[in-house]
Amino acid sequence: MDDDATGARAAAQVEQVRRARLAAGRPTPPRTVSAASAASAASAASAASALCAGGGVALVAQGEPGVQHLLFLAAGPLCFAAAHLLPTAARRRRGLHGYRGWGRTENTTFLLCAAVLVVCGFSAGTELAWIFAGLGVAAGAAWYAMLRGALVAGGRVRP
């Protein structure tokens, strides 16, 4: 019985730590937003960022070979930059500066994936455009889940 109570208390504290870390890492709405719409505003900011990330992946392989393809290829990194800067700017307005721990790891992974996708997109022909579009949908969904804190292994606090 006592073990159960101690376990429940410990689980509550672990959950508290998880929530605090996510609150510092995920995009947060500005202070002017009322509490009632805060959740939807945060969700909208994450969705906009995810749209940019997914759009960037889809764009790097679009267009006919030549100038058109290069223009799409240039638009990709711009979308990736927007996907990173949207949540970062939202955090900065909120008074949170820089990333630490898993937030930083996720950003580094995002940057590496973006670089690889741009290189792959550069040499991709029009026949791969649909595959990149599908990858874009998957990447956007994954980025959204990551920003909202849904990608946490086994429900444990990420170290």
Residue of 18, 8, 13, 11 lying closest to 157 (CA atoms): 18
d(CA 136, CA 102): 23
Q: How many residues bind other proteins (CB under 8 A)?
A: 31
Q: Does 156 bind other proteins (CB under 8 A)?
A: yes
List of residues 6+ apart from 128 with CB closer than 8 A = 61
Tell me: does residue 34 bind other proteins (CB under 8 A).
Answer: no
Shortest Å, Cβ 37 to other proteins: 16
Which is nearer to other proteins, 66 or 97 (by Cβ)? 97
**x-or-dash string of contact with other proteins, 4-33, rule CB under 8 A:** x-xxx-xx-xx-xx--xxxxxx-----x--
Q: How far is the CB of 153 from other proteins (least distance, A)?
A: 12
CB 29 within 8 A of CB 38: yes
Q: Residue 47 is encoded by which pair of tokens?
A: 């969705």
- Residue 123 or 156: the one with the smaller Cβ distance to other proteins is 156
Site membership for other proteins, residue 150 (CB under 8 A): no
Question: How many CA atoms are closer than 13 Å to the CA of 151, on its beta-carbon side?
Answer: 12
- Of 3, 32, 66, 67, the one binding other proteins by CB under 8 A: 3
- Residue 69 contacts other proteins per CB under 8 A: no
Contact 135/58 with Cβ under 8 angstroms? yes
Contact status, residue 24 vs residue 87, Cβ threshold 8 Å: no
Residue type at 143?
A: W
Give the binding site for other proteins (CB under 8 A): 3-4, 6-8, 10-11, 13-14, 16-17, 20-25, 31, 91, 94-101, 103, 156-157, 159
